[in-house]
Amino acid sequence: MRFAITGADGMLGRALVARLADHDVVALTEPAFSLEDQEVVNGAIAGAQPHWVVHTAAMTDVDGCELNPRKAYSVNALGTRHVAAACRACGAGLLYISTDFVYGRRAVRTPIEAWEHGDPLSVYGLSKWGGERYVEALAPRFMIARTAWLYGEGGRHFVGTVLRKAKEGSLLHVVNDQTGNPTYARDVAEAVSRLLEREAPGWYHLVNTGETTWYGFARAALEMSGLDPEQVQPCSSAELGRPAPRPAYSSLSTFTYREMVGVDFRPWREALKDYLSGSGNPGSSRGAD
Positions in the binding site for ligand NAP (CB under 6 A):
7, 9-13, 30, 33-36, 56-60, 75, 79, 97, 99, 128, 147-150, 155
Q: At its nearest, how many Å lie between ligand NAP and the CB of residue 146?
A: 7
Ranked by CB distance to ligand NAP, the top (closest) residue is: 10
Identify which of residues 136 and 169 has a Cβ nearer to ligand NAP in the complex.
136
Q: At its nearest, how many Å lie between ligand NAP and the CB of residue 30?
A: 4
Q: At its nearest, how many Å lie between ligand NAP and the CB of residue 149?
A: 5
CB atoms within 10 A of CB 194: 20
Identify which of residues 47 and 262 has a Cβ nearer to ligand NAP in the complex.
47
Identify which of residues 62 and 289 has a Cβ nearer to ligand NAP in the complex.
62
Answer left, alpha or beta for residue 113, where phi above 0 means left and psi between -120 and 50 means alpha.
Answer: beta
Q: At its nearest, how many Å lie between ligand NAP and the CB of residue 34?
A: 5
State phi, psi for 279 to the nearest 5 degrees: -90, -15
Identify which of residues 230 and 240 has a Cβ nearer to ligand NAP in the complex.
240
Kindly list the catalytic residues: 124
Which H or E element spans position 146? strand 142-147
Report how far residue 172's alpha carbon sits from residue 215's, in angstroms, rounded to the nearest whole number.
Answer: 10
Report how far residue 67's alpha carbon sits from residue 100's, in angstroms, rounded to the nearest whole number.
Answer: 20
Identify which of residues 79 and 118 has a Cβ nearer to ligand NAP in the complex.
79
Report how far residue 219's alpha carbon sits from residue 227's, in angstroms, rounded to the nearest whole number.
Answer: 9
Report how far residue 245's alpha carbon sits from residue 101's, in angstroms, rounded to the nearest whole number.
Answer: 10
Report how far residue 101's alpha carbon sits from residue 211's, in angstroms, rounded to the nearest whole number.
Answer: 15
254, 207 Cβ separation under 8 angstroms = yes
Report how far residue 234's alpha carbon sits from residue 171's, in angstroms, rounded to the nearest whole number.
Answer: 11
Report how far residue 215's alpha carbon sits from residue 213's, in angstroms, rounded to the nearest whole number.
Answer: 5
